[in-house]
Structure 1
């Protein structure tokens, strides 16, 4: 087996420092690139815009009828997000298995990134009553985004030693929020000046959506150049087999998809050997689904329930991006002293308080909406960055992409249970306040399950070195 492109178990010790920094920078810029889709498309512009298009196409009762189903126009966007994630689960798992089997993590990661970027640029052509086109492009882009990000996460164990991983993960999230925020500043300037430029507000929104795809495609060139093809490392065993049963070469080498399906089936069965890793995944699935739903539906809640204009929405999300940079780095420093698990648990308490305050938020009061945005930003980056680094310790060597594909089921922009509950609550009550408060259950259950995970034993169970603080 050729291991020339493998990253070492402890790169900070065994890899040339300059080469390591080059790889880390490429990984940071990957977050910088794809955060534009998360911030500009999912969080700010697409929810309200696609909802307005769906309302244009609605019947007298306010319903649209995709595939013959009757759906309230206000629920179309969250339902479409949920559908995209349900489909992406199978695609992520298969792509992760193919990547671990063939060692082509970078090629698959960047390939899906460019598919997502093209679909996002295609959103320029939305308008009128083309809600089905918008839903289709959202599904393609969100699936591609999910797969690309899951494969990028697989690089983390090879980019830092156990004790450095929280800091590296937090820095990656900070780069992401900085990149997403920078594009939002440009888009805010464009939207505010659309009259002076002779553009309608709808055209300005479509340009902003397409700009996220262009940004994503342009900056993906950096990880394409700086990252090695294969993420992580799996110690070789006799017969060409790597750790945890991942076959590097063999009878199925010329049929990677067929062989990877078998490897995926073995991995899913083998996960039963690591019940503590699965327990952590269950906790993350709950609380991060709540986080992602708050993020993806915040603009919809702000515009439809609180009466915020597009300018206030963009400014609030930009505020989230800016505060989240400091929040990610701050919680990373706190984790260095108190451990990642305790810090994440503390951040979940912050999320409960934030969502509860959102329910009582007065309408048509931008100052309170901006205060809520600051609270979200403070806990957002750190809770996600530390969860990512914590999970990286719980993965058997050689299975990084497959395990992170499972993790990505509920990571940034790919939640499905939360939007489903959010959309159903609105479908039943007609109130976005009822929809937002329904998300508390995800944070409460996630906190309770995470508190029961013995992280040290979980790390030892997969054979990884245990960091000094957890």
Structure 2
């Protein structure tokens, strides 16, 4: 049973439902393809890939560098919700602006996407940090899991609708597939803005009534961040968790980012791969809820380690895949654990960090999340190059999962938080 205020909890969790439409429809689904075929059709394939990579890397680098400072500023000024809504507003506007970018305007598309991706990631820093203000200590696992579960189902529903729009634009009184994709971007902006309203109305943070001005908050945040970095080595459980998280979430992100490429390298049809990814979204919905219950019953750390084991086993098994049905089974296995491992990582971290500095510490958390897509793809690339085998390359990811699980084993799940 969740003991926290239910209206506040569901209002907070609905933001995951809201912004997940961006990750599915825009980031993972339509933008990469539409950029190559519509906005950057005059560029070569290598050139368009380069600029898309620049946009993604640039957004990740900016927010990774700024997140701890912005988090400290929000903590000191009681600005977590205000800053989340500010970043969200910018992200919604940028997403809607994609509708207005004309064919061939690839520079404008890159810039709009860059600012939208920065704003999306920035808003997530403060959204994650607000969990300590909306949930009781004993409810953190279930509440975090509820957010991820709603995110998977919400993002999946709108993405499914948008896919139908592009396959049958005439059903929606649209001229062609290109117009359907542009309207899909606009639908994400509307969806995102609409389902953010409950957060604005019903979620409140501690210290919100006595907040500082933005300039005073920035000064106070800078001093707080300096003190935290100086004292971080004394918070053994925090930095130990962050090391473990960096390792195993790198494996998780690598599986997510490289799955389609791996399937294509084995000769599977692209329609099979897209169908499997969509199936994963809907499996992850009930699985994330179940993980929240299991975390509350057996402890978040145990469930995370079990999820890591499933990921490692899936990597080993995937090296033997022979047909499309095998890929569907792999997608189902990943769907069972991908929501839980992310949700319980968030709640376990929230449990061990100082509550009054949650945004600052989630800044570090999100910073590592941004950098945690480096070693996995690099290991896969090197292994594939040296062995000439795509199947062998997937096995090296098991090393990241094993290292992460070993470090996580030494993290105490229910340590008492101390302010620094």
TM > 0.5 fold call: yes
Aligned partners of 2:84 and 2:122 also within 8 Å:
yes
Residue 330 in 1 paired to residue 286 in 2? no
Q: How many residues align?
A: 416
- Hey, which of these two has a bigger chunk of helix by percent? 2
What secondary structure sits across from 1:63 in the alignment? helix
**Counterpart of 2:185?**
209
Once the two structures are overlaid, the 10-residue window that deviates more, 196-205 or 334-343, is 196-205
**Counterpart of 2:418?**
462
Moved >6 Å (runs of 4+): 426-435
Quickly say closer, same or farther: Cα 1:202–1:89, change in 2 above 3 A.
same
In the TM superposition, residue 389 of structure 1 has moved relative to its aligned partner by 0.8
**Counterpart of 1:355?**
315
2: CA distance, partners of 1:209 / 1:304: 30
In the TM superposition, residue 378 of structure 1 has moved relative to its aligned partner by 0.5
Quickly say closer, same or farther: Cα 1:426–1:36, change in 2 above 3 A.
farther
Residue 341 in 1 paired to residue 301 in 2? yes
- Write out per-residue CA displacement over residues 232-260 of structure 1, whole angstroms, 9 at most, x where no aligned residue: 89xxxxxx9xxxxxxx76xx985322332
Aligned partners of 1:51 and 1:76 also within 8 Å:
no
**Counterpart of 2:16?**
31
1: CA distance, partners of 2:131 / 2:147: 10
What secondary structure sits across from 1:455 in the alignment? coil
Aligned partners of 2:268 and 2:324 also within 8 Å:
no
**Counterpart of 1:179?**
154
**Counterpart of 2:253?**
292
What secondary structure sits across from 2:352 in the alignment? coil
TM-score, normalising length: structure 1: 0.77
2: CA distance, partners of 1:254 / 1:119: 26
In the TM superposition, residue 343 of structure 1 has moved relative to its aligned partner by 0.8
Aligned partners of 1:101 and 1:260 also within 8 Å:
yes
- Write out per-residue CA displacement over residues 169-188 of structure 1, whole angstroms, 9 at most, x where no aligned residue: 11121111121122122112
Pick the aligned partner of 2:202 from 221, 226, 243: 226
Pick the aligned partner of 2:126 from 136, 147, 151: 151
Residue 381 in 1 paired to residue 339 in 2? yes
**Counterpart of 1:106?**
81
Quickly say closer, same or farther: Cα 1:358–1:123, change in 2 above 3 A.
farther
TM-score, normalising length: structure 2: 0.85
Residue 267 in 1 paired to residue 228 in 2? yes
In the TM superposition, residue 368 of structure 1 has moved relative to its aligned partner by 3.6
Aligned partners of 1:43 and 1:297 also within 8 Å:
no
Aligned partners of 1:43 and 1:299 also within 8 Å:
no
For structure 2, the 5+ residue unaligned runs are none
In the TM superposition, residue 226 of structure 1 has moved relative to its aligned partner by 1.1
1: CA distance, partners of 2:276 / 2:217: 45
Aligned partners of 1:47 and 1:299 also within 8 Å:
no
Quickly say closer, same or farther: Cα 1:203–1:308, change in 2 above 3 A.
farther
What secondary structure sits across from 1:393 in the alignment? helix
Aligned partners of 2:254 and 2:377 also within 8 Å:
no
- Aligned 1:181-200 pairs, distance under 5 A: 181-194=156-169, 197=173, 199-200=175-176
**Counterpart of 1:417?**
374
**Counterpart of 1:393?**
351
Aligned partners of 1:151 and 1:401 also within 8 Å:
yes
Aligned partners of 1:142 and 1:414 also within 8 Å:
no
Quickly say closer, same or farther: Cα 1:344–1:232, change in 2 above 3 A.
farther
Quickly say closer, same or farther: Cα 1:121–1:452, change in 2 above 3 A.
same
Quickly say closer, same or farther: Cα 1:420–1:97, change in 2 above 3 A.
farther
Aligned partners of 1:43 and 1:317 also within 8 Å:
no
Aligned partners of 1:344 and 1:386 also within 8 Å:
yes
